[in-house]
Amino acid sequence: MRDPHQVLGVPKGANAETVKRAYRRLAKQYHPDTAGRDAQSRSRFQEITDAYRAIRDLQASEDRIVASAAEATRAYEAPRGDSEADGPEEAAPDSARKAGRQSSEARSHTSPNRNDTSGSDKKTGGKAAEFFENLRQAGVKPFRRQGDDLACSLHLPFLDAARGGNHRVTLPNDRTVDVSLPPGIEDGQQIRLRGLGMPGSAGGSAGDALVSVDIEPHPYFSREGQDIRLALPISIAEAVEGAKVQVPTVTGRVWVTIPAGSNSGTVLRLAGKGLATPNGDSGHQLIELIVMLPDTPDADLTDFVRRWPAAKSQDPRAAFGLN
């Protein structure tokens, strides 16, 4: 596979929003409904989708590494408790100054040698516990702080988003949770998971996890509000004589009657076969018919059209004033 950044035309290190914009632009350009349904167009569309997934997975891994590093840093950081860190001594209450002196004295007794990294003074977490205990004994309550929120993306195929259900997501802190999504969730919609963010300090509550939904385009379906649109190719015979054909929907295949004399651009509606709405109803599936000539030239068809009188009298562009 080619470098996914080259496939999408973005520089290495591009942020998630830049990558997403490039992907959506190319996906729209090479979507089978736009570029055609030949093998080359399908291959290009698949290459674009695979490149986006590869970059997205790489960025998700990098985000987890950064979050883990930040969590480790916060876990090992501790207030110093001395006058240099806390500002002028005159600005602090007597109890806090006393607690700071007690903490400094405790450190000097446990670690007389600055080069000695053994014992509890080697662990910054131990210093923090000692410092806060001194504050508690002095009657000073530590500042209660809520934990930070975590943000991540849940990438969904089009049909999974349409159907909803439970989906597994890995948060930046490497915690894996199941998220319940409603049917018909929209691209960019955010799900808040209470209490699954970073832990708080001094008894503060944990933050939340914010999961943004990123929906991939589908080769055949597109969304219009709660309706689903599908461009359906039909043969000349099916258009002239009418037919019953199988049509895909977001919930499975159904049989649809093509009326005799259908033209390209005719739209059929399948009631209730769209996406669920918040009030419990459903949108519709809109089927736009596209009359297709045979893939290979047909001598009999060509001869018939040449001898067909209506072929020369019909003016399909009259409505546009182009005759």
- Do 221-310 and 144-217 fall under one CATH topology? yes
Cα torsion through 35, 37, 39, 40, rounded to 10: 0
The answer to whether residues 78 and 125 touch, using CB atoms and an 8 Å cutoff, is: yes
Cβ-proximal residues to 237 (8 Å cutoff; 6+ apart), any chain: 243
The answer to whether residues 305 and 278 touch, using CB atoms and an 8 Å cutoff, is: no
Closest CA to 199 of 171, 179, 180: 171
Q: What is the pLDDT of residue 49?
A: 82
The answer to whether residues 164 and 181 touch, using CB atoms and an 8 Å cutoff, is: yes
Other CB atoms within a 10 A radius of the CB of residue 316 amount to 10
Phi, psi of 74 (to 5 degrees): -65, -35
Any idea where the domains of the chain sit in the sequence? 77-137, 144-217, 221-310
How far, rounded to the nearest angstrom, does the alpha carbon of residue 214 sit from its chain's CA centroid? 2
Closest CA to 167 of 181, 157, 147: 181
Blockwise average pLDDT, block size 10, the chain, 323 residues = 82 84 82 70 79 79 59 49 40 46 43 44 57 63 76 90 91 88 90 88 84 91 94 94 95 95 94 85 94 89 86 77 67
* Fold exhibited by the domain 221-310: HSP40/DNAj peptide-binding domain (2.60.260)
Tracing tokens 């195929």 back to the chain, one arrives at 157
- Three-state SS string over the chain comes to CCCHHHHHCCCCCCCHHHHHHHHHHHHHHHCHHHHCCCHHHHHHHHHHHHHHHHHHHHHHHHHHHHHHHHHHHHHHCCCCCCHHHHCCHHHCCHHHHHHHHHHHHHHHHHCCCCCCCCCHHHCHHHHHHHHHHHHHHCCCCCCCECCCCEEEEEEECHHHHHHCEEEEEECCCCCEEEEEECCCCCCCCEEEECCCCCCCECCCCCCCEEEEEEECCCCCEEEECCEEEEEEEEEHHHHHHCEEEEEEECCEEEEEEECCCCCCCCEEEECCCCCECCCCCECCEEEEEEEECCCCCCHHHHHHHHHCCHHHHCCCCHHHCCC
> How many residues belong to the chain?
323
Instruction: Please state the CATH superfamily assignment of the domain spanning residues 144-217 in this structure.
Output: Urease metallochaperone UreE, N-terminal domain (2.60.260.20)
